[in-house]
Amino acid sequence: MTAEQIFELWAPQGARWSQWAKPVLFAHLGLPRESPVSSAGRVELAAPVAPPSPPLAGIEPADGTTAVVVDLPGAAGVAAGLVLAESGYRPVPLYNAVPSPSPGGPIPGGSVAVDMAQVLEALRAGAERVGVARLPDDAPPAFLLDARRRTADSRVLQPGAFDNRSVSLPTDFPSANLLLASGIRRVIVVQLDEGQPQADLSHTLRRWQDAGMEVLVLATGAALPGESGGTSGGTAASPRPITVNKPRWYRHLWHGMLARLGLRTNPLGGFGGFLPVPSAG
Partner 1 sequence: MSAVAPDNILERPPSARSSSCTDSPHLHPLRAGPTLSPEAFAPIRRRMVLNCCKWDPQVGDVSTLAPFPLLIGRADWQQLCSTAEGLARELIAAEAELLGRPDLHRKVAVPRPLRNALAEARDRGATPAAVRTLRFDFHWTPDGWRISEVNSDVPGGFAEASELTRLFADSFGPSMNLAVPGDPAAAWADAVAVAAGGAPVALLSAPGFMEDFQVVSYMATRLVERGVAAHLAAPSQLAWAAGHASLRAAWYDGPLGAVVRFFQAEWMAQLPRSCEWRPLVVGGRTPVTNPGTSVLTESKRFPLAWEHLAAALPTWRRLLPETRDPRDAPWRRDDGWLLKTAFCNTGDTVAARDLVLPQRWRAAARAAFLWPGQWVAQRRFETVPLATPSGDVHPCVGVYTIDGRACGAYTRVATRAVIDYRAIDVALLVEGDRVQEGPA
Residues that bind partner 1 (CB under 8 A): 3-4, 7-8, 13, 19-20, 22-24, 26-27, 96, 98, 101-105, 108, 110-111, 113, 158-167, 170-171, 173-175, 177-178, 253-254, 260, 263, 268-281
Minimum distance between the CB of residue 113 and partner 1, rounded to whole angstroms? 8
> How far is the C-alpha of 156 from the C-alpha of 162, rounded, in Å?
9
Q: Which is nearer to partner 1, 52 or 207 (CB)?
A: 207
User: DSSP string spanning 3-18?
Assistant: HHHHHHHHS-TTSTTG
Minimum distance between the CB of residue 117 and partner 1, rounded to whole angstroms? 14
Give the residue from 87, 84, 61, 66 showing the smallest Cα distance to 183: 66
Minimum distance between the CB of residue 278 and partner 1, rounded to whole angstroms? 4
Minimum distance between the CB of residue 232 and partner 1, rounded to whole angstroms? 34
Q: Which is nearer to partner 1, 233 or 254 (CB)?
A: 254
Q: Which is nearer to partner 1, 27 or 50 (CB)?
A: 27
Q: Which is nearer to partner 1, 87 or 151 (CB)?
A: 151
Minimum distance between the CB of residue 165 and partner 1, rounded to whole angstroms? 6
Strand intervals (E) in 4-140: 66-72, 90-93
Give the residue from 275, 245, 280 showing the smallest Cα distance to 260: 275
Minimum distance between the CB of residue 259 and partner 1, rounded to whole angstroms? 8
Identify the three-state secondary structure at position 92: strand
> How far is the C-alpha of 61 from the C-alpha of 85, rounded, in Å?
9
Q: Which is nearer to partner 1, 6 or 75 (CB)?
A: 6
Q: Which is nearer to partner 1, 185 or 264 (CB)?
A: 264
Contacts 24+ apart (CB under 8 A), 226-234: 226/51, 226/52, 226/75, 226/76, 226/79, 227/73, 227/74, 227/76, 230/52, 232/52, 232/53, 233/53, 233/55, 234/54, 234/55
